[in-house]
C-alpha cells in the first residue's frame, strides 16, 4: 500500500510495473501449506487530487502448482482518501501528526469471487527520513457472494490496521528506496456451512521492499527514478486466515513511469 509521487500538484499520478519471483505458500493444501514457484506481475498507480490521494494495484499471479491456488489469479485493491487538510485548506494535525483523512478501500479477487470493503481513517505522520509514513485503521466488511453463488464463503466482519511507508536514501552516489506495508487483520468466522474449519485466524502480513536505483547507477541523473531491482521480504503469519505461515524473499524489479 505504498506510493511515490515526484511532485505534489493539484492532480498528478505515477504508474509502476512490478515483477516478482519467489516461492510462495498455498495455505489450504495441507495444515503446513505447500510451496510453489510463483511469478507476480503488478500494475500499480498512486495519484493525488485536490481533495486527497488514491492508490490502486492489480496483481496477475501464476504459480507452478496444479492445485487450484494462484493459477492465473487476478487480485486488486483500491484505496482513495479524502484529506481533512486539503479540504479545509489548513493543516489538520499537530506535532508529528501531519494530516487526518478518511479512507475507503476495496479488495477484489476475480477468481475466488472475493470482495471486502474497508472504510476507515488514515493518520499521516512527519517522520525524519521518510517521504511518507501512514497508519490506516479500517473496518474489513464482508461482501462475498457466498458458496451457493459460486463465490468465496461469507464471513463475519472484522477490522484492519496497516502501516505503509517510503524512505529514499543514498549511499555514496547510489540511490535506494525502502518501502512497503505491514497489516494486521482480525480473526473472523465463516457464516455458512462448510466442510472445513469455519474459524479464520487473524493474520499478520509484512511486505517490506528494498530496491536499488539501477537507472541512476547506469545512466546517472537522466535515467534516475525509473528502473529498480531488489527484493521483497514477505512474512505472513496465518496466511489468508489459515494455520500456515509464510517467510520468504522474492526477487523484485520495478519500472517506474
Q: Which helix (H) or strand (E) holds 252?
A: strand 246-256
Mean of pLDDT values over 157-171: 97
Mean of pLDDT values over 181-190: 97
Q: Which helix (H) or strand (E) holds 62?
A: strand 52-63
In tens, the pLDDT along 190-202 reads 998 877 778 889 9
Say what the pLDDT of residue 193 is: 80
Q: How does residue 162 score in pLDDT terms, banded at 50, 70 and 90?
A: very high
In tens, the pLDDT along 117-130 reads 999 999 999 999 99
Q: How does residue 11 score in pLDDT terms, banded at 50, 70 and 90?
A: low
Give the count of alpha carbons within 13 A of 231, CB side only: 7
Strands in 126-226 per DSSP E: 132-142, 158-171, 174-185, 188-189, 199-200, 203-206, 209-213
Say what the pLDDT of residue 31 is: 62
Taking the C-alpha atoms of residue 233 and residue 247, their distance in angstroms, rounded to an integer, is 8
Q: How does residue 7 score in pLDDT terms, banded at 50, 70 and 90?
A: very low
Q: CA quadruple 126, 129, 132, 138: dihedral positive or negative? A: negative
In tens, the pLDDT along 203-244 reads 999 999 999 999 999 998 888 999 999 999 999 999 999 889
Q: CA quadruple 22, 15, 78, 153: dihedral positive or negative? A: negative
**Domains recognised in the chain with CATH numbers:** 12-256 (2.40.230.20)
Flag whether pLDDT at 66 surpasses 90: no
Give the global pTM: 0.89
Q: In the chain, which ranges are continuous DSSP H helix?
A: 84-88, 214-219
Amino acid at each position: 500500500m505504498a506510493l511515490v509521487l515526484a511532485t505534489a500538484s493539484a492532480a498528478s499520478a505515477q504508474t509502476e510495473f512490478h515483477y516478482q519471483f519467489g516461492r510462495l505458500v498455498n495455505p489450504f493444501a495441507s495444515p503446513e501449506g505447500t510451496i510453489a514457484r510463483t511469478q507476480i506481475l503488478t500494475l500499480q498507480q498512486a495519484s493525488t487530487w485536490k481533495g486527497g490521494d488514491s492508490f490502486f494495484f492489480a496483481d496477475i499471479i501464476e504459480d507452478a502448482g496444479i492445485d487450484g491456488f494462484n493459477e492465473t489469479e487476478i487480485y486488486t485493491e483500491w484505496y482513495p482518501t479524502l484529506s481533512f487538510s486539503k479540504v479545509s485548506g489548513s493543516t489538520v494535525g499537530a506535532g508529528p501528526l501531519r494530516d487526518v483523512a478518511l479512507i475507503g478501500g476495496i479488495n477484489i479477487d476475480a477468481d475466488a469471487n472475493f470482495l471486502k470493503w474497508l472504510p476507515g481513517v488514515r493518520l499521516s505522520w512527519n517522520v525524519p527520513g521518510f517521504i511518507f509514513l501512514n497508519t490506516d485503521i479500517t473496518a474489513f466488511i464482508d461482501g462475498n457472494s457466498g458458496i451457493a453463488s459460486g463465490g468465496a464463503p461469507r464471513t463475519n466482519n472484522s477490522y484492519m490496521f496497516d502501516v505503509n511507508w517510503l524512505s529514499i536514501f543514498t549511499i555514496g552516489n547510489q540511490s535506494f528506496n525502502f518501502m512497503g506495508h505491514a497489516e494486521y487483520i482480525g480473526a473472523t468466522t465463516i457464516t455458512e456451512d462448510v466442510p472445513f474449519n469455519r474459524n479464520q485466524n487473524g493474520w499478520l502480513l509484512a511486505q517490506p521492499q528494498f530496491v536499488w536505483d539501477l537507472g541512476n547507477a547506469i545512466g546517472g541523473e537522466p535515467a534516475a527514478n525509473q528502473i529498480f531491482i531488489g527484493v521483497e521480504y514477505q512474512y505472513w503469519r496465518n496466511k489468508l486466515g489459515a494455520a500456515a505461515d509464510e517467510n520468504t524473499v522474492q526477487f523484485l524489479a520495478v519500472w517506474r513511469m
